[in-house]
């Protein structure tokens, strides 16, 4: 079995692409979407952590995520 290159399951990427109207989805498209989503999520997470720390908290909250988007 191949080594996992993303944290997100490729089956979820397939479902997202199918829901968007794709008739067929290549494995490379699933991997590319997962990497792009992970890149975006990492940026949001970093900003959310900074917001929590600025507020004097160790816990990241839903509102931190909302503000970090």
> Is 3 a domain residue?
no
Spans in the chain with pLDDT lower than 50: none
What local confidence, expressed as pLDDT, does residue 5 receive? 80
> Is 55 a domain residue?
yes
What local confidence, expressed as pLDDT, does residue 39 receive? 97
> Is 34 a domain residue?
yes
Give pTM, 2 decimals. Answer: 0.85
CA distances 17 to 27, 31, 47, 53, Å, are 11, 12, 27, 36
What local confidence, expressed as pLDDT, does residue 66 receive? 98
Query: What CATH number should be reported for the domain holding residue 46?
Result: 1.10.20.10
> Is 39 a domain residue?
yes
What local confidence, expressed as pLDDT, does residue 1 receive? 53
What local confidence, expressed as pLDDT, does residue 6 receive? 87
> Is 4 a domain residue?
no
Range of the structural domain that residue 29 is part of: 10-68
Distance CA(22)–CA(25), nearest Å, equals 7
> Could you give the number of structural domains in the chain?
1
What is the distance between the terminal CA atoms of the chain, rounded to a whole angstrom?
35
């Amino acid at each position: 079995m191949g080594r996992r290159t993303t944290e997100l399951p490729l089956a979820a990427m397939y479902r997202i692409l199918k829901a968007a109207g794709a008739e067929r989805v290549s494995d490379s498209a699933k991997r590319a979407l997962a990497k792009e989503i992970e890149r975006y999520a990492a940026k949001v997470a970093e900003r959310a952590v900074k917001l929590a720390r600025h507020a004097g908290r160790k816990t990241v909250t839903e509102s931190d995520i909302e503000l970090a988007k």
